[in-house]
Chains A and B, each alone.
Chain A
Amino acid sequence: MNEPKPQDGHGEHKDYAGAKMGMWLFLFTEILLFGGLFLLYSAYLHRYPAAFHEAGKTENLLLGSANTVILIASSFTVALSITALRLGRTRGCLVFLGLTVALALGFLVNKFFEWSAKFAAGLYPGSAHMKSLPAGENVFTGLYFAMTGLHGLHVLVGSVLLSVVAALVARGRVNAGDFVLLENAGLYWHLVDLIWIFLFPLFYLIA
């Protein structure tokens, strides 16, 4: 185990509060990005309530619920990794980060099966089958691909980000005295979880 280097404030200037605020500002842009899609969803739900109800029945509740549990568990392990690092337990921190990335990959594997099943049923943007669906069901499926797709991309980016931070933790560059990078990567990951917390009821439960 490498000892965290003492940070005495000399040398490199670090602005902890500023770094964190910057991350939150970035998260606001993410909230508004997904917010636009949530706005579309709610407007179309209002216009086609029956079709949304019907189309929602085709979603796989079991896989959706499993992914909800997986993503919340991964948010939990990130929070644990920050606690571990701040207590000076570098190895514990790395184990928790490893678990988080493993859970993220599990989430993506489930998504792969979900999307594959839809493709096999002829449901993908622009497909003849999708065009033949009633307008409301077409819109629901389109929104499903757009929103879970953009979210899946964030899961991918988040797991790369967490892997990079884990490497920095292993090298002692991120340590008990200087951990804002881990906290900010954690904030990004929690946002990914937060968005899924709303996507899950909208696509899997409302039907």
Chain B
Amino acid sequence: MEHESRSQHVLSYGFLTGIFAALMVLTATTIIVSRIELGFFNVVVALSVASAKASLVIFFFMHLKYENRTLKTMVLLAFILLAICIGFTFFDVGPRT
């Protein structure tokens, strides 16, 4: 018997190909933008594009979009903890230089 919370959703080949194409476009974008001298803005663009790519991988390749709320909350919490860890360190490191 199927478990109630089992994710029944099967992603089609076509849909996965679309996600892959989007990831390739983002990779090309980030490489091209990195060749243009924008100073600190280069870092912002590189990390924003990386985060967008990471979201595509997590939600679709890793299937998180179709998982239950408990799992989604857990994953969100893990990333919030990492953000606190890195962010709070900069309260100390940031003003030093």
Where the two chains meet, the residues of A that have a C-beta atom closer than 8 Å to any C-beta of B are 8-9, 15-17, 20-21, 24-25, 28, 31-32, 35, 38-39, 42-43, 46-47, 61, 65, 68-69, 72-73, 75-76, 78-80, 82-83, 86-87, 183, 186-187, 190, 193-194, 197-198, 200-202, 204-206
Contacts and interface: CB of A to CB of B under 8 A. Distances in A.
Contacts of B23: 72, 76
Interface of B: 1, 3, 5-6, 10-13, 16-17, 19-20, 23-24, 27, 30-31, 34, 42-43, 46-47, 49-50, 53-54, 57-58, 60-63, 67-68, 70-71, 74-75, 78-79, 81-82, 85-86, 89-90, 93-94, 97
B3 A17 contact: yes
18 contacts: A15-B3, A17-B5, A20-B67, A21-B71, A24-B71, A28-B74, A31-B82, A32-B78, A35-B82, A39-B89, A46-B90, A73-B20, A78-B61, A79-B16, A190-B57, A190-B62, A198-B47, A200-B50
A206 B49 CA distance: 13
